[in-house]
A and B are shown apart, each in its own frame.
Chain A
């Protein structure tokens, strides 16, 4: 799950991380009101679940409440297309109106889980403002790391050490330590997989301010964070992916024309790879999980087929606990119920696969059963 910048900044405030003064507006009039209260230069930021807002014209520094209102009017209720959104863009239902802080220096700060070491890692850099990938490429010596033992937490000496490594003056030790401690605590207490501040600005009047906030949440931890779950904004999600998730099906939309339907994540990925080597492009990743019930198969087909790019469905199943003949019946019923027009190539192995393939070939539907994976992928690619 993702959350909006204004929500992340609200959490920052709760954990003692200073953010610019401001507020969130859902109408141009509200935006104007907040700008009037703030006074002076303000920045208006469209709230969507994607990066690249600045380049796409979704962020503006303005000098009057009138200008704020006008800019907000142009954004609210529209869709913003950035390099990270789909071509249709993401809906802008809110804008964040904040004081425009004058920056003396921009820093980078993040906490994430380093899975190879099995430890939380804090990364800091004096070269903030640009993406961490870019820093890693251009000035890797400016990325400083502190591994944190989850039993004892982030120690003051580690925070100090990062501040000194960034060559900041001694006056910044205390405020930076407060930001770092808060960010680590937030990361651990709310089950985040990434908490990133970029830039963490040193203002001309010597304050530290989190100008932006990027949060990734470990969905597995959501059950114990009702407050975070309530921040979910379904309008920002790909509707098909939401529909799939509600049915316990994992679906990720891609750009190709072979709609894949597979049981198991590893096999689903491998199926996409096989489609590609057969000369076609997968339209999606789709894992129906264990149990492949008729209901789930039907949901999966309806999701897969609602992508207009899909020209052929490619079902790849290994029946372990799941019986292939049961799944075959489910496929036949789903195809009838949904009146699927596209051809369906079905490759199945494992429990009762011969019976499953026989049922499919006798169904009288546009279904092509094939026990061999490579041959099945070729059949699907021919029809893509």
Chain B
């Protein structure tokens, strides 16, 4: 298990909103220790008659021992919410919110690096640990099964596809991490791969990437030099029209590296079993585990 486990105590920022309350309940149902909510102005109230809501994350930490935060606040206030959590000493911060300005992410990442806090997201489905019964995010809990495969992904629904395939094949997961689709994620593939490599409960890893940036190439380099566990990879977007989201000058920095074929090539060269269709992720992992005698 990485990042979260059965001792993770969650404060939900934005617990009184529609998404926040829905997912706080779903996480509780999954077995997660949701211990507090934080909504400025709603301090002193109880969520669902049992979970204390605080005005400040700092108070939630002091009163309930919260050690992870889950953020649902609107994009305009999300950077502030992340920084508040980090300032309160929370080491694991998951930001579900989509639509943060890139320049906010830039500043947040700089600040968190100094604080030593780990941010997952923004614009991500969060983290699920089936063995730890911890759901720090919005993933459908029921598709998971405790086991020894780690999943790290830039996409939400593709993650669910992969997890669902694994579970249907009887292969469980150690931890599933959605790092999100933004250009400047708080945690990168390499950050998460390092944790999986060091985790005794993880035997193999699924990596789901997509076009844009060079995060996958960095992952390939790490896998090649440091990783001993088998990795199955999929890259979405081979048919995506070029230049729709990225300015021409942006493409110069990375050259053709942001394209799907280049990413697949880099991963394959690093020994990753790269699949061409998302339908093949599960069976390819099954094969990889069998080959290593792990199932």
Contact = CB atoms under 8 A, between A and B. Distances in A.
Interface of A: 110, 112-116, 118-121, 123, 131-133, 136, 143, 150-151, 188, 191, 193-194, 196, 214, 216, 218, 220-221, 223-224, 252, 254, 262-267, 269-270, 272-277, 282, 285, 318-321, 349-351, 372-374
B277 A374 contact: yes
B154 interface: yes
B214 interface: yes
B151 interface: no
Contacts of A143: 252
Given A150-B110, A254-B241, A273-B277, A123 B249 contact: yes
Nearest to B255: A136
A239 B250 CA distance: 26
- What secondary structure prevails in chain A residues at the interface with B? mixed
A359 B32 CA distance: 34
B19 to A, nearest CB: 9
B150 interface: no
B101 interface: yes
B103 A269 contact: no
Nearest to A110: B249
Contacts of B241: 252, 254
A151 B158 CA distance: 36
B140 A118 contact: no
B161 interface: yes
A175 to B, nearest CB: 22
B139 interface: yes
Contacts, number: 168
A320 B143 contact: yes
Given A115-B184, A254-B241, A349-B164, A266 B103 contact: no
Interface in B207-263: 208, 210-211, 213-215, 218, 234, 236-241, 244, 247-255, 260
Given A118-B109, A133-B248, A270 B102 contact: no
B140 A274 contact: no
Given A188-B103, A252-B244, A272 B239 contact: yes
B157 interface: yes
A267 B278 contact: yes
Given A112-B253, A320-B143, A321-B138, A274 B277 contact: yes
What is the interface residue range for chain B against chain A? 35 or more
Nearest to B183: A115
Contacts of A113: 102-103, 106, 183-184, 250
Nearest to B251: A133
B191 interface: no
B100 interface: yes
B248 A266 contact: no
Nearest to A255: B241
B250 A112 contact: yes
The 8 closest A-B pairs by CB, nearest first: A266-B155, A264-B157, A320-B140, A221-B101, A194-B247, A269-B236, A267-B157, A266-B158
B46 interface: no
Contacts of A319: 140
Interface in B45-70: none
A370 B155 CA distance: 23
Contact of A220 (B26, B101, B109, B214): B101
Contacts of B130: none
Interface in B133-161: 138-140, 142-143, 153-161
B158 A267 contact: yes
A266 B157 contact: yes
A188 B101 CA distance: 11
Nearest to B111: A151
